Amino acid sequence: MACIPASEPRFGETGGSSQRMRGACWLALLLSSGLIVAAARGDLWLDELISLSFARNAHSIADIFVRFPYDNNHPLNTLFLYLAGVRQALFIYRSFAVLSGIGSVFLVGYIAGRHWGSREALASIVLTGTSYPLLLYFSEARGYAPAIFFALAAYALLQQNLRRFHPARMALFWAASILGVLSHATFIMATLAFVIGSLAQEIPAAGPWRQKALRLAAHHGPPLVFFAWWYGFFLKNMVVAGGPIYPKWNVLAEASALLLGLPEAPGFSGVAVAGVLAVVAVGLVSLLRARDPWWVFFLAMLGLAPASVLLAARPTYLYFRYFIVCVPFFYLLLSRLACRCSRAWPNGGRWWLVAAVAILVGGQTPRVWALVTLGRGSYAKALAHLTECSPPGIVYLGSDQDFRNHLLFAFYAPLVPGGNRLHYIEQTHWGEYPPDWFILHSQDLAYQPPRGITVDGIGKYQLADEYRFSGISGWGWFVFRRETPDDRTQGGLTE
């Protein structure tokens, strides 16, 4: 390509420098895979358990597609959970996401190396493989990771097929696009970007308009028809379970901070948004000046397509994960821009690039470390500890939120030793069965629980233990015991 100097070795080429770069790429991929696997350890959280409940309540594969029209039913992932069956090792439920995540990191390196160069390949692998928002969803038993994988695979296939057409490659592009939609409906943003990117390539190309229209229809007709059918069959009447409602600016600020590894603090919100917009704007200009025809695709993927979906859907609930399918393409553009700048630097360009990537990775490290060490909560550990520290007999447990915590309790109590002694008491029955233990939950990482609480009509409780989480997915549990327990609960939790 014209945007790569002739002296720059391509990803996968032979030669001493290229061999070292390829080795560095494989090492980075290996380390990134280790991070994904490490992040996938620990307890499943509520949304994963809801998806698992769909799989366990399905009587056949068809049920997955017709009985559960809910936003937490990501059909391709639910199908995997259904086929996985009942497992004691919870990691198995996340293995589809893990493999999709590892495949995605490989694909960003492959795409960057094939299109731009080996340096871009390495930078893309490092930035994608250490990105907290991507690691979070690469290690979660939901449909976001496969949606990302199929978006990258479809892009690679389309990119090659527009350069050199092959029917089998087009069929694979159709398959990737359809599987992406079945992974998660937000894949439609990638589909729209593919159409816009193809238009930008076909319009200036030589040949009659009829032939151009046929090529566009051949590539994008089947995926668009499938999505239209899927919308009418499943998405149109899909039930959205709900959740907190955040202002759109807060969502944009959170996404920008997570992309760049900046703190989610008021003083950094504007800086983060400005930084992301600057990367996109300068990166697009750089591609345009290099006469790279795919600049239109990146404009669509990182701007036009998400904006169009937002305007069309006008969702009540908006979260940054709805745009997670776009994130790897941001890191591709950022990697290309950083490498381009390093080549233009008169002296020490490579060290400038290393320093820039190191700063970005360093910004992601605190969140990644929390994800690996704390996970999405320690629900099984909390219940096991509570059971161990309670005397024989039935133990009553209540909480501040029945829907969220009762579902977690119902899943984990049978998995811990002695968990059959635990009985969750919903708030409407506290008068008849006063809880011996009480759980407060919070999704605020900075939340500091009180040392004691009073439950109306029941009595006072003292804080016994804390089980924190890493953020976004899951929540912390803060366990309290009754201040004046009866004979069944004397002793309580120990320090």
Question: Which stretch of 118-132, 137-151, 345-359 has the lowest confidence by average pLDDT?
Answer: 345-359
How confident is residue 487, by pLDDT bands cut at 50, 70 and 90? very low
Shared domain for 170 and 36, answered yes or no, is yes
Q: Which pair of structure tokens corresponds to residue 8?
A: 């720059």
Question: Is 494 within the bounds of a domain?
Answer: no
> What band does 1 get if pLDDT is binned at 50, 70 and 90?
very low
CA angle (90, 40, 249) in 5-degree steps: 125
Q: Is the pLDDT of residue 8 over 60?
A: no
d(CA 467, CA 186): 33
- Compute the distance between CA of residue 269 and CA of residue 254 in angstroms, rounded to an integer: 7
Q: What's the rounded mean pLDDT across residues 212-234?
A: 95
346 and 462 inside one domain: no
Q: Are residues 385 and 369 in the same domain?
A: no
- Residues 187, 147, 281, 279, Cα dihedral to 10°: 160
Single out the residue in 374, 394, 424 at which a domain terminates. 374
Question: Does residue 181 share a domain with residue 159?
Answer: yes
Note the pLDDT tens digit of each residue in 343-369. 887 666 677 888 889 999 999 999 999
Total tally of structural domains belonging to the chain:
2
pTM above 0.85, yes or no: yes
Integer-rounded Cα Rg, in Å, for the chain is 25
Rounded Cα distance, 437 and 465, in Å: 11
Q: Which of 27-41, 117-131, 203-217 has the lowest mean pLDDT?
A: 203-217
The string of pLDDT tens digits covering residues 367-399 is 999 999 999 999 999 999 999 988 889 999 999
Both 182 and 232 in one domain: the answer is: yes
User: Would residue 432 count as lying in a domain?
Assistant: yes
Q: Is residue 265 part of a domain?
A: yes
Confirm whether 342 is domain-assigned: yes
Co-location of 220 and 244 in the same domain: yes
pLDDT at 16: 57
CATH code of 417's domain: 3.40.190
Contacts of 4 (CB under 8 A, 6+ apart): 10, 116, 117
Burial class (CB in 10 A: 0-12, 13-18, 19+), 426: middle
Which residue type is seen at 290? A
pLDDT of residue 468: 97
Residue 2 resides in a domain: no
Question: Is 6 domain-assigned?
Answer: no
Instruction: Using the Cα atoms of residue 161, residue 166, residue 171 and residue 172 in order, give the sign of their dihedral.
Output: negative
> Both 388 and 340 in a single domain?
no
Residue 3 lies in a domain: no
Which residue among 341, 358, 374 closes a domain? Answer: 374
Kindly report the number of other CB atoms within 10 A of residue 452's CB atom. 11
Query: Is 133 in the same domain as 165?
Result: yes
What pLDDT shows up at residue 168? 96
- Are 420 and 365 part of one and the same domain? no
Q: Which of 128-137, 294-303, 349-358 has the lowest mean pLDDT?
A: 349-358
> What pLDDT shows up at residue 349?
65
Range 82-110 average pLDDT: 96
Provide the pairing of β-strand 437-442 with 476-482: antiparallel
Average pLDDT over residues 111-134: 96
pLDDT at 490: 42
Alpha carbons 251 and 245: distance in angstroms, whole number? 10
201 plus 62 within the same structural domain: yes
Domain extent for 181:
16-374
Instruction: Express each pLDDT in 457-485 by its tens digit.
Output: 889 999 999 999 999 999 999 999 988 65
What are residue 424's phi and psi, to 5 degrees?
A: -85, 130
Please enumerate in sequence order all residues whose Cβ is within 8 A of that of 69, keeping only pairs 6 or more positions apart, or say none. 234, 237, 238, 239
pLDDT bin (cut points 50, 70, 90) of residue 10 is very low
Is the domain of 244 the same as that of 118?
A: yes
User: Among residues of the chain, what percentage have pLDDT more than 70?
Assistant: 93
Same domain, 158 and 261: yes
Is 63 part of a structural domain of the chain? yes
